[in-house]
Amino acid sequence: MTLAVRVDPADPTPPFEQLRRQLAEAIQAGALTAGSRLPPVRQLAGDLGLAPGTVMRAYGELAASGLVVAGRARGTIVAAVAAPTEADRRRSIAQLAQAYAGEAQRLGASPAEALAAISRALGVDAGAR
């Protein structure tokens, strides 16, 4: 399994939360399926240049929310997850939009440029509203 997560040191969000959020989104989107093993804590910490405690905290938060099941012998495994509720879906979209808007502002994009990029990514004609 290839796990495409990254931690941005310039992001004010704590590293454990960046990791937790990305893993939760991957699980909820079905990119990480029930029964999939997450990398061992030390391996992922080394891959991302984080302290093992940071990865352990992210995994712990995922376990507390029921997204993964942690066991000493079998590692951390993605739990069977029900489809996200409408409120969860809206919250996730809002969080993604906020992160995108912040990054677009940091890069100096105007609101029109940022919206046009989103429209292109969604395959929507920005002029046809």
User: Residue 34 above 60 pLDDT?
Assistant: yes
What tens digit of pLDDT does each residue of 77-94 get?
Answer: 999 866 667 887 888 889
Q: Identify the DSSP state of 32.
A: S
What pLDDT is recorded for position 3?
Answer: 75
Do residues 16 and 57 touch, judged by C-beta distance below 8 A? Answer: yes
What pLDDT is recorded for position 83?
Answer: 65
Whole-prediction pTM: 0.63
Domains of the chain, residue spans: 15-78, 86-122
All residues at 6 or more sequence positions from 61 whose CB lies less than 8 Å from its CB, including other chains: 16, 20
What pLDDT is recorded for position 72?
Answer: 76
Q: Identify the DSSP state of 55.
A: H
User: Residue 129 above 60 pLDDT?
Assistant: no
Mean pLDDT of all residues in the chain? 89
The CATH class of the 15-78 domain is: mainly alpha
What pLDDT is recorded for position 14?
Answer: 95
CA angle 56, 61, 63 (to 5 degrees): 90
* Residues forming a β-bridge with 76: 70
What tens digit of pLDDT does each residue of 37-50 get?
Answer: 999 999 999 999 99
Termini Cα distance of the chain: 41
User: Residue 74 above 90 pLDDT?
Assistant: no
User: Residue 128 above 70 pLDDT?
Assistant: no
Place of tokens 């609101």: 111
